[in-house]
Amino acid sequence: MTKVSHRRHITLSLCILLAMLVLAACGTSAGSDVKTEKTTASVWNNITEKGEIIVATSGTLYPASYHDSGTNELTGYEVEIMKEIGKRLELDIKFVEMGLDGMLTSLNSGQVDLAVNDIEITKERQEKFTFSEPYKYSYGTAIVRKSDHSGIESLEDLKGKKAAGAATSVYMQIGRDHGVEEVIYDNVTNDVYLRDVDLGRTDVILNDYYLQKLALAAFPEFEIMIHPDIKYHPNVQAIIMKKDNAELLEQINNVLTDLHADGTISELSKQFFGGEDVSVEQDLDFD
């Protein structure tokens, strides 16, 4: 082979290699997009093929998710919303009970499709998960002892106080930001939290106003109260799911829109929250 022929051969080979690399790069991008579309679609396809949506909830958070004392049936504001969604999508709803930490882990692993448990929409969670349209608007309060407000008159007084709650809750993070001593509970019922404040084992429960109000009404024997001067952290709750489940999100949001429009969510709210409509945002001043 002459030198000229040799150069032509090398040049041709390089051109072919370059073309192969360009095609491979294009193929990788297109293949990735197709794979993402298949993944998001397959989640909804799997749900419709099974005929059920698997939903994580605690079963211990009154009135969002709890067991009726008479029938032991799982019910609550968010449980009944999910049951109504199931009816309208013509799908069964299978509830799996666990604590909040387990819910988020189970969503990521694909063991459950959705989770409902008064789960607040936060920037940090939005980076890791997807949320539906909201169905609850609320704000934070503090349960303290009646006798002395547990020595707390503002959020700044939380430093060094024993705060009861779940490790990954937004309210416990607020407590951390103000220097509380954390007392972490697993998936326990409200009476355990409330009794410990009453007995002085803990000093404060930072949580949602509506949940705190109903919990106190259910256990009037405890000498505790919602602090009259502490209102903070306006917040919004919704159904949470794994990221990039576009089709599932669309289906859920379509039904939620209908439930808001026909008044079903408002009726459920009044049923479970003592006549109050938590589905409507309030205009309040907050700390």
User: Over the stretch 88-139, which tens digit does the pLDDT of each residue have?
Assistant: 999 999 999 998 889 999 999 999 999 999 999 999 999 999 999 999 999 9
pLDDT of residue 43: 86
Q: Are 74 and 65 in contact (CB under 8 A)?
A: yes
Identify whether the C-beta of residue 96 lies closer than 8 Å to the C-beta of residue 74.
Answer: no
Write out the residue limits of the CATH 3.40.190.10 domain(s) in the chain. 47-135+238-272, 137-234
Model pLDDT, residue 80: 98
Helix, strand, coil content of the chain in percent (nearest 5): 50, 20, 30
Residue positions counted in the chain: 287
Look up residue 132 and give its two tokens. 């539906």
One CATH from 3.40.190.10, 3.30.380.10, 3.40.50.300, 2.40.30.10 for 137-234:
3.40.190.10
Write down the H helix ranges in the chain.
3-50, 77-89, 100-109, 123-128, 170-177, 190-199, 209-218, 246-261, 264-272
d(CA 55, CA 50) in angstroms, rounded, equals: 14
Per-10-residue mean pLDDT for the chain, 287 residues long?
A: 47 43 41 46 89 96 92 97 98 95 93 96 95 96 98 97 90 96 86 95 95 91 96 95 94 98 98 94 75
Would you identify the CATH topology of the domain 47-135+238-272? D-Maltodextrin-Binding Protein; domain 2 (3.40.190)
- Nearest in space to 173 (alpha carbons), one of 108, 120, 236, 213: 120
Sign (positive/negative) of CA torsion 260, 266, 271, 277? positive
Q: Three-state DSSP class for 91?
A: coil
List the one residue out of 279, 175, 278 whose CA is nearest residue 230. Answer: 175
The structure's pTM equals: 0.73
Q: pLDDT at position 40, please?
A: 53
pLDDT in tens, 207-218: 999 989 988 998
pLDDT for 41: 59
3-state secondary structure of 139: strand
